C-alpha cells in the first residue's frame, strides 16, 4: 500500500535536484520498480531527451539516446506518445497486445523482450511552459500485478516529482531549448518579427540557402510545418522572448 501523504511530503521536502533524485528513486524502488527513467518531452514536439535513469542496460540507454549516426533512434519507442494520449499510466504488455504498431515500434518492443527488460508502465506528466515529461518504470523480467488504484498512486507520485523538478529548476525551459541551435533561435527570433528569409540572411550575414536550411531544421525539431506555428511553439517553450500583442500575426510567410 502506498502512503501518498508520506511520499509527497518526502518529494516536496527536497531542496536540490540531486536530493529529489535520491528521494524519487528510493520511492520507486520501494514500489518494486527495478528500472526507472525520467525523460523530458518538450511541448509540441515528438522528441524526448533522457535526463536520468537507473536499471536499464547501458548499451540500451546509449542506443535509445541516439548517436551522430542515428540521432533519432528514440522515435522507435511507441510508449511516450501512447502515454501522452492516455489519462492513466500505460502498461507496456497490455499496450503491445492491443495497439496497431508500426514495423519500427514492433522492432523496439522486440528489443525490450530480447534484453529481458520485462514489463512496466509509462507515465506522462505535464508542467509549465511546455515542460512536460515522461517516466518509464520497469518491473523487471517477471513483472508485478499492480492494481488500478496502485497505478493511479504511482501516477500522482510521478506528477509530484515532476512539479518539484520544475520548481527546483526555474530555468527549466533551457531543457526544451537544448535541441535548437543558437542560429536556429536567431532565425526564429527574426521570423517572429516579420522578417523574410532573404532579410534574415542579410541581418545574419549568411546566404538565403543557409537560412532556408535553418528554418527547415527548426521546423522539424518543433514538429511544425509553417513559420507561424514555429513561432507560436517557440514562444510557448520560452525559446524566444515574448512579443507584443499581434506580432505573430505579422509573420512573413516567405
Burial degree of 94 (CB within 10 A; 0-12, 13-18, 19+)? exposed
User: How far apart are alpha carbons 222 and 237 in whole angstroms?
Assistant: 10
What cell does 159 get?
506528477
Q: Is 118 helix (H, G, I), strand (E, B) or coil?
A: strand
User: Mind listing the domains of the chain with CATH numbers?
Assistant: 4-174 (3.30.450.80), 180-250 (1.10.10.10)
pLDDT of residue 24: 93
Give Cβ neighbours of residue 202 (< 8 Å, ≥ 6 apart).
none
Tell me the sheet residues that pair with 40. Answer: 49, 133
Alpha helices in 66-178 (DSSP H): 79-84, 92-98, 103-114, 148-168, 173-177
Shortest CA distance to 192 belongs to which of 248, 254, 249? 248
Q: Looking at residue 197, what is its pLDDT?
A: 94
Walk across the sheet containing 131-140 and list its strands: 48-54, 35-42, 131-140, 119-125, 90-91
What pLDDT, on the 0 to 100 scale, is given for residue 211?
96
Q: What is the mean pLDDT of each run of 10 residues along the chain (254 residues)?
A: 89 89 91 88 53 82 62 75 92 90 91 90 88 89 77 95 86 52 89 92 94 90 78 74 49 54
The answer to whether residues 177 and 185 touch, using CB atoms and an 8 Å cutoff, is: yes
Pick from 32, 151, 145, 147: which is nearest to 83 by CA?
151
DSSP string, 179-193: TS-HHHHHHHHHHHT
Whole-number Å distance between alpha carbons of 164 and 158: 10
pLDDT of residue 242: 62
Question: Of the candidates 155, 163, 123, which has an alpha carbon nearest to the alpha carbon of residue 38?
Answer: 123
Q: How far apart are CA 213 and CA 106, in angstroms?
A: 33
- Residue 84, beta-bridge partner list: none
HSE toward the beta carbon, residue 230, CA cutoff 13 A: 26
Distance CA 80, CA 77 (A): 7
What's the pLDDT score for residue 228? Answer: 83
Amino acid at each position: 500500500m502506498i502512503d501518498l501523504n508520506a511520499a509527497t511530503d518526502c518529494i516536496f521536502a527536497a531542496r536540490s535536484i540531486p536530493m529529489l533524485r535520491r528521494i524519487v528513486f528510493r520511492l520507486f524502488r520501494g514500489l518494486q520498480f527495478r528500472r526507472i527513467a525520467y525523460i523530458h518531452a518538450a511541448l509540441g514536439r515528438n522528441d524526448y531527451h533522457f535526463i536520468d535513469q537507473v536499471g536499464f542496460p547501458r548499451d540500451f540507454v546509449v542506443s535509445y539516446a541516439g548517436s551522430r549516426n542515428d540521432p533519432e533512434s528514440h522515435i522507435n519507442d511507441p510508449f511516450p506518445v501512447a502515454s501522452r494520449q492516455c489519462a492513466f499510466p500505460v502498461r507496456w504488455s497490455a499496450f503491445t497486445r492491443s495497439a496497431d504498431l508500426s514495423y519500427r515500434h514492433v522492432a523496439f518492443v522486440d528489443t525490450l523482450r530480447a534484453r529481458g527488460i520485462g514489463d512496466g508502465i509509462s507515465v506522462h506528466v505535464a508542467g509549465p511552459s511546455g515542460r512536460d515529461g515522461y517516466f518509464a518504470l520497469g518491473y523487471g523480467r517477471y513483472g508485478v500485478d499492480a492494481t488500478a488504484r496502485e497505478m493511479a498512486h504511482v501516477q500522482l507520485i510521478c506528477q509530484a516529482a515532476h512539479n518539484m523538478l520544475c520548481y527546483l529548476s526555474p530555468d527549466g525551459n533551457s531543457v526544451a531549448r537544448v535541441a535548437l541551435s543558437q542560429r536556429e533561435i536567431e532565425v526564429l527570433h527574426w521570423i517572429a518579427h516579420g522578417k523574410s528569409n532573404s532579410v534574415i540572411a542579410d541581418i545574419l550575414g549568411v546566404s538565403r540557402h543557409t537560412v532556408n536550411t535553418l528554418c527547415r531544421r527548426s521546423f522539424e525539431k518543433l514538429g511544425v510545418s509553417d513559420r507561424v506555428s514555429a513561432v507560436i511553439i517557440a514562444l510557448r517553450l520560452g525559446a524566444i522572448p515574448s512579443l507584443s500583442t499581434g506580432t505573430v500575426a505579422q509573420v512573413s510567410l516567405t
